[in-house]
């Protein structure tokens, strides 16, 4: 079992200009075989769903969320990241750490469940946005399902922009067999289910 990984502090000040990053953002599906750095992984995770402040005793994040309920969990399948053993981890935004997810994920099985999209195994890391409806359904009922999808879109766009800003390639993946992906990721498909994946790799 891999150990908990402390992530370096993310950059929150300087960075490439937003307009240029927006103008350049594209879905990039071909990656070279060069590991991501731990600093890059840290920045990508923070940008996707990290803590950026507080309101009262409520932590706020880089992505907006209906009712500030944050009904997603972010997992990452590490294929090639320097100083991080390959494996499947959960991102814990409160402490900005990765913890082993307690479940082994076979990258090839995940690729197969995603209709054979080869970027799954070629990426340095695959980000998995997992829906946790119990955080939003008690307040919003049926409408929670709409909000969860909208929240995931915000987080994925953050991942895209962060990857672009770091000179990395990113591609969203929504085309997959739900049951197969949930099985590969160890999710029950009801209380926790795979909503949206994103690959990031070196260019
Ligand atoms: C909800 C959603 C699901 C997507 N799923 C996939 C996918 O499974 N595989 C893929 O290669 N691209 C996927 N994409 C990327 C789109 O193909 C891409 O955004 C579109 O072609 C526009 O290109 P651009 O992102 O380079 O501007 C997805 C994008 C979105 C927003």
pLDDT tens digits along 75-109: 999 999 999 999 999 999 999 999 999 999 999 99
Question: Does residue 13 lie within any of the structural domains?
Answer: no
Beta strand segments in 56-124, E:
58-61, 72-78, 87-92, 97-100
Share of the chain above pLDDT 90, in %: 95
pLDDT band for position 16 (cuts 50, 70, 90)? very high
In the chain, the number of structural domains is 1
Question: Does residue 171 lie within any of the structural domains?
Answer: yes
Question: Does residue 6 lie within any of the structural domains?
Answer: no
Question: Does residue 179 lie within any of the structural domains?
Answer: yes
**pTM (two decimals):** 0.98
Q: Is 26 touching ligand 1 by the criterion CB < 6 Å?
A: yes
Residue 87 maps to which CATH number? 3.40.109.10
Mean pLDDT for the stretch of residues 40-57: 96
Which range marks the domain in which residue 134 is found? 31-52+59-202
Question: Does residue 161 lie within any of the structural domains?
Answer: yes
Distance in angstroms (rounded) separating the CA atoms of residues 202 and 156:
18
Question: Does residue 80 lie within any of the structural domains?
Answer: yes
Q: Is 190 touching ligand 1 by the criterion CB < 6 Å?
A: no
Distance in angstroms (rounded) separating the CA atoms of residues 100 and 83:
14
DSSP string, 149-172: HHHHHHHHHHHHHHHHHTTEEEEE
pLDDT score, position 89: 98
> Phi then psi for 5, rounded to 5 degrees?
-115, 115
Distance in angstroms (rounded) separating the CA atoms of residues 189 and 180:
10
pLDDT score, position 44: 98
Question: Does residue 22 lie within any of the structural domains?
Answer: no
Question: Does residue 8 lie within any of the structural domains?
Answer: no
Q: How far is the centre of ligand 1, averaged over its atoms, from the C-alpha of 177 (Å)?
A: 16
Please choose from 120, 172, 199, 200 the residue to mutate so as to test ligand 1's pocket, defined by most ligand atoms within 8 A of CB: 172
Longest dimension (CA), the chain: 45
């Amino acid at each position: 079992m891999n150990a908990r990984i402390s992530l370096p502090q993310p950059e929150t000040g300087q960075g490439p200009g937003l307009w240029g990053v927006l103008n350049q953002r594209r879905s990039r599906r071909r990656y070279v075989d060069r590991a991501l750095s731990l600093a890059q992984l840290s920045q990508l995770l923070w940008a996707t769903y990290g803590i950026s402040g507080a309101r009262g005793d409520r932590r706020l994040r880089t992505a907006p969320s209906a009712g500030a309920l944050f009904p997603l969990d972010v997992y990452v399948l590490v294929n090639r990241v320097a100083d991080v053993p390959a494996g499947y981890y959960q991102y814990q935004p409160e402490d900005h750490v990765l913890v082993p997810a307690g479940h082994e994920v076979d990258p090839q099985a995940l690729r197969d469940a995603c209709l054979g999209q080869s970027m799954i195994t070629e990426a340095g890391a695959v980000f998995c946005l997992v829906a946790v409806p119990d955080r939003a359904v008690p307040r919003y009922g049926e409408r929670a399902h709409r909000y969860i999808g909208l929240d995931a879109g915000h987080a994925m766009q953050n991942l895209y922009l962060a990857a672009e800003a770091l000179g990395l390639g990113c591609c969203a993946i929504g085309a997959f067999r739900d049951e197969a992906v949930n099985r590969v990721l160890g999710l029950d498909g009801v209380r926790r289910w795979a909503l949206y994946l994103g690959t990031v790799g070196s260019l």
